[in-house]
Amino acid sequence: MGEGLVIGRTPKPLTIAVDNSLKDSPAILELEAKGHIIVPADHQHFDLVLGPRCWRMDATLLQYLDLAVKGVRSIKYPKKTRSVGEGA
């Protein structure tokens, strides 16, 4: 994710559960610096997460972290569409 470059804080923060083995990785530290809320996931022993807003990634998928954040953000913060007759 941008090689440690943090441009600004996000106006749409996400709460992200992170395993302790990943909490100090540059990608996770960058997300935290951008204003996302990082919480430990160690107390949750699971192998499968089901739900309309659940995403699961492991260390091998960190290269896709930006894509995951973008996808989760689009679900949590959907774009508002204007109704017919609504002013500009």
pLDDT in tens, 6-27: 568 888 888 888 877 788 888 8
| Residue 86 or 59, more confident | 59
Cβ contacts of 73 within 8 Å, gap of 6 or more:
12, 14
How many angstroms separate the CA atoms of 6 and 34, rounded? 7
More confident residue, 75 or 45: 75
Query: Rounded distance, CA 6 to CA 1, Å?
Result: 9
pLDDT at 2: 46
Going by the DSSP 8-state scheme, the letter that residue 80 receives in this structure is P
- pLDDT one-digit tens code per residue, 23-50: 888 888 999 999 998 888 765 655 555 5
**Per the structure block, which two tokens stand in for 55?**
């995403």
Q: Where are the domains of the chain?
A: 12-76
* Token pair belonging to 84: 């017919």
Q: Is the pTM of this model over 0.85?
A: no
